């Protein structure tokens, strides 16, 4: 694309980002997965899908049980009004961050290596936000009244929402984020959908893809509009990457509870979100890379770059931990001090320490290039990171609530099976959606990768690949 041309640094991409025979091969490689007739979708795919789908079913059951019986089916109590529900919410929202970051920010920074991963990252974002969205809705005692959280004109009650409440800010932040991410993702899909439309023989598919690709013919005019739209969306969603999790962090930062009432939260949460988001992308990509043989498109370069980001954000998070403890000590506030001592050595020490291990210690391995390039290491770290980040949210939310100001009202939280199955259910939902996406939509942005491919060809004339291509 035009953007690519004004991109000097790409001129010396070496080794090339992606390896593909030529444009056609690339198209082939991605499309056959979607079309699934040349290459039959393996049985193990359908089995996996069946499993994840049934886990999603459990989610449905749990939510039905919750709504029909009450929040009491969870372990929440007084003082721990929020526990796994909001933990899971923040966890999923956090994961959702990588997508936008990759699509928007890396795009604006002309990081061409994003092209191979942005499509799946964006998809992941959407699915993660969907999972996240479940919790704010169902954690309310009366979900059937949850629409009161939205500023609907109500001449009946003459009542408005409390716009001072961070929960209201959440409503706006999250819904905006989802909408923009969706548009972003879909816009990117249009050219590829058109490609699929043109490739398929089946009339039905032609109609479906045809409708979805909004009559994309690929005229220069189309491309120009596409470029504009893409740029605009990137511009819109860049601030969102920062805003969403900042606002989510306000849920805690604006309260009076020691352990929540902290100004460091916004940057701390954003860093954590990107941290976990990239880890999750990593997990999914590695699996996709193996199962769908995309080694040539998702190269070591991609993976290593992501590992670097994981290392950086991980370190930022670690720094935040340190700061929290320092401030707790430095403030001289007895409640603050107690909270952090209690966090590390109180009844929830195990949660805190698993968090420190996963988020603070393990990622440090990425200082070594060998580690950054070892598939198994990065796979495991991507997993531990996500575990660690879940614990981070749990530690922040639960341990701060268990022991606040009045020792008389201290309590302890025991999750019920409903808590666990609900969380498991959202994972099921997430995977189901992602599997469907991987099978029925182009997992890799064909057109964008072609862009990179083209540049490579154009740049390194001496390369045999290109010579053959230009013949």
Partner 1 sequence: MAVIFPKSSDIILKVAGAVAGIGAVIAVAAFTYYTYPTVIDTGYQPVQPVPYSHKLHAGQLGLDCYYCHSTVYKAAFAAVPATSTCMNCHTQVKKDSPRLEPVRQSYATGKPVPWVQIHRLPDYVYFNHSAHLSAGVSCVSCHGRIDQMIEVHQEKPLNMGMCLECHRDPAPNVRPANLVTKLDWVPDRDPREIGAEIVAQKHLEPPTNCSGCHR
Partner 2 sequence: MSSLINIQTPNVTGKKYWRSLNQLADTKEFRDWVHHEFPANATEMLDGNSRRTVLKLMAASFGLAGLAACNRPVEHILPNSAGTEADNYLPGEPFHFATVMSIGGHVTGLLVETHDGRPTKIEGNPDHPHSLGAATAIQQAIVLGMYDPDRSAKVLQSGKESTWPALEAAVQKLSLGDGSGLRFLSGFVSSPTLDSQRTAILKKFPKAKWVEYEALSRDNELAGANMAFGQPLYAHPKWDKAKVVVSLDHDFLNLDAPTPFFTLAFSKRRRVGSEEDLDKMNRLYAVESQFSLTGANADHRMRMKGSDVLQFATDLAAALGAMPGLNVVNNGDKRGKFLAAVVKDLKAAGPEALVVAGPRQPASVNALVALINEKLGSACVTYTKPVIDKSNSGIDALKALAGEMSAGQVSTLVILSGNPVYSAPADLQFPVALSKVATSIHLGAEEDETAAAATWHIPEAHILESWGDEASSEGAASIQQPMIEPMYGGKTPVEIVNWVTTGKFTKSHDIVKNFWLAQFTGDKEQAWRKALHDGVVAASKTVDPIKVTVDTKKLATALGAATKAASTGIEVGFYPSSATWDGRYANNGWLQEAPDPISKLVWGNAAMISPKLARDQKLTDGDIISLTRGNVKMEAAVMVQPGHADDAVSISLGYGREKCGRVGKDVGANANLIRTTDGFYFAQGFTLAATGKRETLATTQERGTGDNQNGRPLAREADVEEYKKSPKSIEEMSEVPEIHSIYPEFTYDKGNQWGMAIDLTSCTGCNACVVACVAENNTPVVGKDQVLRGREMHWIRMDRYYSGDENDPEVVEQPIPCMQCENAPCENVCPVQATSHSPEGLNDMAYNRCVGTRYCANNCPFKVRHFNFLNFHRHEPELVGLVYNPDVSVRMRGVMEKCTYCVQRIEETKIKAKRDGRREIKDGEIKTACQQTCPAEAIVFGNINDPNSRVAKLKKQERNYAMLAELGIKPRTTYLAKLRNPNPELTA
Q: Interface residues for partner 2 in 148-177 (CB under 8 A)?
A: 148-153, 159-162, 164-168, 171-172, 175-176
* Phi, psi at 299, each rounded to 5°: -90, 175
Please identify which residue in the block is written with the tokens 């007084």.
78
Residue 71 interacts with partner 2 (CB under 8 A): yes or no: yes
Q: Which two tokens stand for residue 156?
A: 């009946």
Euclidean distance between CA atoms 73 and 70, whole angstroms: 6
Nearer to partner 1, 77 or 161 (CB): 161
Nearer to partner 1, 151 or 239 (CB): 151
- Per-residue contact string for residues 394-433; x = within reach of partner 2 by CB under 8 A: -------x--xxxxxxxxx-x-------------------
Q: Which residues, at least 6 apart from 304, have a Cβ–Cβ distance to it below 8 Å?
A: 369, 372, 373
- Which range in 134-142, 148-156, 229-237, 377-385 contacts partner 1 by CB under 8 A? 148-156
Nearer to partner 2, 148 or 379 (CB): 148
Hey, is 383 helix, strand or coil? helix
Euclidean distance between CA atoms 245 and 279, whole angstroms: 17
- Which range in 2-10, 155-163, 241-249, 314-322 contacts partner 1 by CB under 8 A? 155-163
- Per-residue contact string for residues 122-151; x = within reach of partner 2 by CB under 8 A: -----------------xxxx--xxxxxxx
Q: How far is CA 404 from CA 174, 337, 397, 400, in A?
A: 29, 11, 12, 7
Length of the chain (residues): 471
The least distance separating partner 2 from the CB of residue 245, rounded to whole angstroms, comes to 17
The least distance separating partner 2 from the CB of residue 296, rounded to whole angstroms, comes to 18
The least distance separating partner 2 from the CB of residue 319, rounded to whole angstroms, comes to 27
Q: Which two tokens stand for residue 392?
A: 């981070």
Site for partner 2 in 258-317 (CB under 8 A): none
What does the DSSP 8-state code read for residue 363?
Answer: G
Q: According to CB under 8 A, which one of 11, 235, 420, 467 is a site residue for partner 2?
A: 235
State the virtual CA torsion across 174, 120, 432, 421 in degrees, nearest 10. -50
Between 166-199 and 23-35, two packed helices, what is the crossing angle to 10 degrees? Answer: 110
- Which range in 65-73, 149-157, 299-307, 412-420 contacts partner 1 by CB under 8 A? 149-157
State the virtual CA torsion across 324, 325, 326, 328 in degrees, nearest 10. 80
For binding to partner 1 (CB under 8 A), which residues are involved?
152-159, 197-198, 206-207, 210-211, 214-215, 217
């Amino acid at each position: 694309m035009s953007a690519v041309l004004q991109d000097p640094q790409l001129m010396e991409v070496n080794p090339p980002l992606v390896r593909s025979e030529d444009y056609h091969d690339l198209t082939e490689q991605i499309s056959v997965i979607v079309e699934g007739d040349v290459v039959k979708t393996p049985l193990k795919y359908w089995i996996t899908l069946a499993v994840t789908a049934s886990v999603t079913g459990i989610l449905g059951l749990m939510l039905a049980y919750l709504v029909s019986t009450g929040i009491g089916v969870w372990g929440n109590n007084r003082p721990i009004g929020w526990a796994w529900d909001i933990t899971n919410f923040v966890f999923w929202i956090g994961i959702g961050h990588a997508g936008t970051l990759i699509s928007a920010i890396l795009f604006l920074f002309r990081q061409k290596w994003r092209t191979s991963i942005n499509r799946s990252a964006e998809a992941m974002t959407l699915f993660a936000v969907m999972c996240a969205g479940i919790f704010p809705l169902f954690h309310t005692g009366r979900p059937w009244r949850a629409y009161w959280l939205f500023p609907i004109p109500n001449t009946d009650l003459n009542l408005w929402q409390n716009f001072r409440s961070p929960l209201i800010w959440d409503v706006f932040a999250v819904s905006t984020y989802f909408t923009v991410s969706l548009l972003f993702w879909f816009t990117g899909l249009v050219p590829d959908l058109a490609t699929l439309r043109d490739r398929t023989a089946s009339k039905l598919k032609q109609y479906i893809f045809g409708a979805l690709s909004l009559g994309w013919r690929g005229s220069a005019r189309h491309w120009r509009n596409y470029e504009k739209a893409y740029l605009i969306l990137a511009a819109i969603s860049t601030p969102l990457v920062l805003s969403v999790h900042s606002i989510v962090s306000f849920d805690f930062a604006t309260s009076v509870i020691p352990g929540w009432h902290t100004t460091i939260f916004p940057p701390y949460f954003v860093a954590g979100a990107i941290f976990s988001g990239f880890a999750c992308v990593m997990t999914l990509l590695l699996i996709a890379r193996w199962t769908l043989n995309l080694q040539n498109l998702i190269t070591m370069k991609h993976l290593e770059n992501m590992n670097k980001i994981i290392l950086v954000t991980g370190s930022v998070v670690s720094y935040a931990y340190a700061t929290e403890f320092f401030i707790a000590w430095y403030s001289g506030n007895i409640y603050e001090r107690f909270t952090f001592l209690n966090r590390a050595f109180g009844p929830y020490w195990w949660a805190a320490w698993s968090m420190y291990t996963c988020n603070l210690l393990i990622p440090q391995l990425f200082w070594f290039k060998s580690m950054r390039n070892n598939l198994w290491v990065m796979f495991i770290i991507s997993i531990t990171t996500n575990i660690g980040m879940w614990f981070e949210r749990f530690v922040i939310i639960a341990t701060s609530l268990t022991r606040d100001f009045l020792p008389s009202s201290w309590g302890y939280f025991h999750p019920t099976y409903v808590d666990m199955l609900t969380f498991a259910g959202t994972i099921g939902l997430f995977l189901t959606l992602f599997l469907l996406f991987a099978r029925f939509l182009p997992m890799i942005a064909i057109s964008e990768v072609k862009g990179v491919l083209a540049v490579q060809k154009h740049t390194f004339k001496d390369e045999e690949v290109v010579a053959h291509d230009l013949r």
